Amino acid sequence: MDIVTIMGYVAGVCTTSAFLPQAVKIVKTKHTKDISLMMYSVLTTGIVLWCAYAFINHDWPLALANGVTLFLAGWILILKLRYG
């Protein structure tokens, strides 16, 4: 594995893990008032497009990171719709 691929995986772990505390907090508190529905809608759309881009280009670090990010951001979006 070359340094660029390793850098891609590390970047993916950093950006993806940033969503985890927010998702956990929402599950615990069921409070989403301060989360922007528009922001998470646009973000989730962008992540779907990044996933498509990564699959088309066979960029597996990008696909993996964005797949997990899509799950977390999508989960937050669903919780916002449910509790907001």
Q: Specify the pLDDT at position 11.
A: 87
Tens of pLDDT, residues 28-58: 999 999 999 999 999 999 999 999 999 999 9
Report how far residue 71's alpha carbon sits from residue 62's, in angstroms, rounded to the nearest whole number: 14
80 pLDDT band, cuts 50/70/90, is very high
Return the CATH fold of 3-83: Monooxygenase (1.20.1280)
Tokens 């691929």 belong to 5
Tokens 């529905």 belong to 37
Look at phi and psi of residue 30 and say left if phi exceeds 0, alpha if psi is from -120 to 50, else beta: left
Provide mean pLDDT across the span 10-39: 92
77 pLDDT band, cuts 50/70/90, is very high
Enumerate the domain spans of the chain.
Answer: 3-83
Q: Specify the pLDDT at position 27.
A: 92
Q: What secondary structure does DSSP assign to 34-68, as a single string?
A: TS-HHHHHHHHHHHHHHHHHHHHTT-HHHHHHHHH
